[in-house]
Amino acid sequence: MNSDKKRLAVLASGSGSNLQAIIENCQNGYIPAEVAVVLSNNTSAYAIERAKNFNIATVVLETKDFDSREAYDKKVVEILKSYEIDLVVLAGYMLLVTSEFLKGFQGRIMNIHPALLPAFAGTDGIGDALTYGAKVAGVTVHFVDEGCDTGPIILQDCLKIKEGETKEELAKRIHTIEHRLYPEAIKLFCEGRLEVEGRTVKLKS
């Protein structure tokens, strides 16, 4: 096992609660890595403030300042490579990455989704599960490919939806799972224990 610390970039558009969990698990030694930079497309993202609280470098880039999404992602890749990033972690990042991004970090981009993929992909996995009348909800950590929430699945965990449970109540329970499952998946990557074969992610001992 490689004991060298990996360098993570976390991309976030919102409050950054998963970012907080990742930073804390890096600092307590559970994840053998450090968050080298936090990047956002949203100038008001609280994730940026969280990063600054830990003296982590931050970058804010708005898509409106670029001619195309490809041009935007080309700049993001350029910035992340300047930080010598090993793994890109999407944590509530509300942009679909383009081929430019995928080329820059092939097989090294991870995302978390608040549903049991392939069910309820998209921007409102929790609400969609409730509307559909699902009995079970959960969390998926997956590698990112050219589709929307379609990459190879790394880890999943589930919970039973309680009768009459509101979206806010379910979201709170799902976030608790996210804050445990995402650090676990990142830890496995950093330890070199994930192997992708087609759509299957195998865990090496």
Q: With 90 as the cut, is the pLDDT of residue 192 above it? A: yes
Q: Of these residues, 113, 142, 175, 179, which one is catalytic? A: 113
Q: Is 132 exposed, middle or buried (0-12, 13-18, 19+ CB in 10 A)?
A: exposed
Query: CA 87 to CA 56: how far, in whole Å?
Result: 16
Model pLDDT for residues 163-183, shown as the tens digit of each residue? 999 999 999 999 999 999 999
Q: What residue numbers bound the domain in which 189 lies?
A: 6-203
Q: Is residue 1 in some structural domain?
A: no
Say if residues 120 and 129 touch (Cβ distance below 8 Å).
yes
What's the full length of the chain, in residues?
A: 205
Q: 1 pLDDT exceeds 50?
A: no
Inter-residue contact 91 to 118 (CB < 8 Å) = no
Give the Cα separation of 64 and 100 in Å (integer). Answer: 17
Q: Residue 147's CB: how many other CB atoms inside 10 A?
A: 10
Q: Do the domain assignments include residue 135?
A: yes
Domain tally, the chain: 1
Q: Specify if 126 maps to a domain.
A: yes
Task: Provide, rounded to the nearest whole percent, the portion of the chain with pLDDT above 70.
Answer: 99
H helices present in 2-119, as ranges: 17-27, 46-53, 69-82, 99-104
CATH number at residue 71: 3.40.50.170
Q: What is the mean pLDDT of the chain?
A: 95
**Domain presence at residue 87:** yes
113 is catalytic: yes
Average pLDDT over residues 78-92: 97
Q: Quick: pLDDT tens for 97-129.
A: 999 999 999 999 999 999 999 999 998 999 999
Q: Residue 57 pLDDT more than 60?
A: yes
Domain for residue 117, yes or no?
Answer: yes
